[in-house]
Amino acid sequence: MKELLQNLAMSIVDRVMAMIPRALPDDDALRKCNIISHRGEHDNRTVMENTLLAFDIARAAGVWGVECDIRWTKDSVPVICHDASTERVFGKDIVIDSVEFADLRSQLPAVPTLEEVVARYSGNTHLMLELKSDPAVNLDVQRRILQKILGNIIPKKDFHVLSLEPELFTVVNFLEPAVLLPVAQTNTSSLSRLSLERNYCGLAGHYLMLGEKIRRQHHAAGQVIGTGFPSSRNCLLREINRGVEWIFSNDAVFLQGKLDAMKASLKS
């Protein structure tokens, strides 16, 4: 219910933003902008979120990156699933951390492992890996597993790690702070200060929450700003014109088409 209300609110806000005309960005701003498919290109009817198919569709459309969510099975296998349970997306109430991976795979083969995602997209799609709040049964074990999987790809170049809860970054303490991206909800100011103090990668959050003062502070510190979740051309233009580098969207394929068209128009 909470996510439905959030999506409704974002939809209303974006409809308003879509009606406001925006200037065409210059070539430099267009080149700096990267679109990220939030949980892949999905509708949760024919294509489910956080699946290889959803990520494949985004990649095939030329979308720069995909965001996905990491949870842990009972036997410490990191899998890609946003919710603690699979019920909302797949209609089966399987609590991820209560089942072993073999059981999850037999019941829901569409839920990929982190290892499968890294193997499939490393070097061709930037991975935004979000840590979800799971009970750390054995933090050292989880850390070793992540270090092994992520050791096959290059931090910052191939992937970044995100979280709504920066304390979860302890499981990836083998990574430098510049790979880590806090995601703000209503705690924008406090996470902004934390990111600046700890020299994190930058800050992500809804585009209305990350105002100009915060954007300037992070850019002045050499950090990156990521905003979600534009779904219209005019909202995309708003973010590009104010220098936002990473744009997370549930309509990433649509926005990528608009971005590509704008780049092409400047070359012609």
Rg (CA), the chain: 18
The per-residue pLDDT for range 48-62, each reduced to its tens digit, is: 999 999 999 999 999
Residue-wise pLDDT tens for the chain (268 aa)?
Answer: 555 555 555 667 777 777 777 888 999 999 999 999 999 999 999 999 999 999 999 999 999 999 999 999 999 999 999 999 999 999 999 999 999 999 999 999 999 999 999 999 999 999 999 999 877 678 999 999 999 999 989 999 999 999 999 999 999 999 999 999 999 999 999 999 999 999 999 999 999 999 999 999 999 999 999 999 999 999 999 999 999 999 999 999 999 999 999 999 987 6
95 domain-assigned: no
Domain with 164, as residue range(s), is 26-71+124-267
Is 48 domain-assigned?
yes
Number of structural domains (the chain) is 1
Return the CATH number at 245: 3.20.20.190
Length of the chain: 268
Output the DSSP codes for 96-150.
GGGS-HHHHHHH-TTS-BHHHHHHHHTTTSEEEEEEP----S-HHHHHHHHHHHH
pTM of structure: 0.94
Residue 6, pLDDT score: 58
Instruction: Report if residue 86 sits inside a domain.
Output: no
Question: In this structure, is residue 17 part of a structural domain?
Answer: no
Residue 230 lies in a domain: yes
Task: Establish if 222 belongs to a structural domain.
Answer: yes
Is residue 18, in this structure, part of any structural domain at all?
A: no
Has residue 241 been placed in a domain?
yes
> How high is the pLDDT of residue 8?
58
